[in-house]
Amino acid sequence: MDSFNEDRIKHLLAKHLMRDLTEDESMELEKWRNLSTLNEDLYQRMSDPAYLEKRYSDFTKATYAAAKGKKSSGHIWWRWGILAAAAVVLLALILPGFLRPQMKTVTAPQKGITHLLLPDGSRVWMKSSSSITYPERFRGKERTVSFNGEGYFEVAASQSSPFIVDAGDFEVVATGTKFDIKAYRDESRAYAALMDGEISIRYADSTGNECRDNMHTGELAIFDKVRRSNSIMKANTSIYSSWIGGVYSFESERFENIMKEICRYYGYNLIIADEDIKNKVLSGRLKMSDSSDVIIEVFQEFLPGHISFESDTIIIK
């Protein structure tokens, strides 16, 4: 809400219409107006008698008819009083919706990739079962979205309006860049791989202190949700965005993590009973356009006799 209290804005706008603002209140209202073009737009509409009369046409027709015969000067001030009272009611009706933009939530379907163009021109690709919530229009000094899953972001540049991806346990802050974020609510770790530009990882550590770690092109951040710690390292970040082109790439990755990705994409549950198998390390590339049967056959060759199906669950033991 641009850091202003909603009731306070109603109060200031109503006093403005009644021409009863103090000098300090005028400065406060001016500061709110300057925060965004949308605030200024609301101010201008609430200051326009023609607009108020249009929205309250039936009301004004009735009151004007009753006011015939009054002296012109008295009528002018009486009319302003009526319009100001009408505006207060109008503010109560429209201001909450105006200051709280409508939100949209989009979820990527199973076995698919969803591409979105956000209101500011930023682009996001989301992997199967990932979701994003964002406003119909970005307002104020920040562009904030909520995200769960894995997504690739190409952020429209704006130094004055940071783009923030709220992943629940941490935030990615950018002003114009390309990065991949993998942050599932049910996973103990989250990742952010930076392909171009600079971003910051913002989070609260185990003591509650706010931390902000800066990242540069070609770096990978691994955030431990349990320990509330973040580590940044150099990495081959291209493998983290290869899925946009329909290829799942993994490099020195634990077998359990690979299978989790595959099961999440194709909609299977996963049970791995053997700890040694979980911790096997593999590298490779898989076509995401292949059926789940084709993908599983690859791993059955690697682990003959260890993989079986039970309804919608893959069991490895």
Rg (CA), the chain: 28
Strands (E) in 86-188, as ranges, are: 103-107, 113-117, 123-127, 131-135, 143-154, 163-166, 171-174, 178-183
Contact by Cβ (8 Å): 123, 115: yes
Q: What's the confidence (pLDDT) of residue 56?
A: 55
Its pTM surpasses 0.85: no
Residue 204 has pLDDT above 70, yes or no: yes
Q: What number is the average pLDDT over the span 87-94?
A: 54
Q: Can you list the domains of the chain with their CATH numbers? A: 6-99 (no CATH), 103-240 (2.60.120.1440), 247-316 (3.55.50.30)
- Mean pLDDT computed over every residue of the chain: 84
Higher pLDDT, 74 or 95: 95
Chain segment 256-315, per-residue pLDDT in tens: 999 999 999 999 999 999 889 999 999 999 999 999 889 988 888 888 888 888 888 999
Q: What's the confidence (pLDDT) of residue 58?
A: 46
Side-by-side strand order, sheet with 307-310: 269-272, 313-316, 307-310
Find, among 169, 162, 198, the residue nearest to 186 by Cα: 169
Chain segment 24-76, per-residue pLDDT in tens: 888 888 888 888 777 887 788 777 766 665 655 544 454 455 555 444 444 44
Q: What's the confidence (pLDDT) of residue 61?
A: 53
Q: 260 vs 63, 107, 191, 272, CA distance in Å?
A: 69, 19, 15, 10
Task: Provide the pLDDT confidence category of residue 18 given band limits of 50, 70 and 90.
Answer: low
Q: Residue 2 class from Cβ within 10 Å (0-12 exposed, 13-18 middle, 19+ buried)?
A: middle
Higher pLDDT, 39 or 250: 250
Residue 170 has pLDDT above 70, yes or no: yes
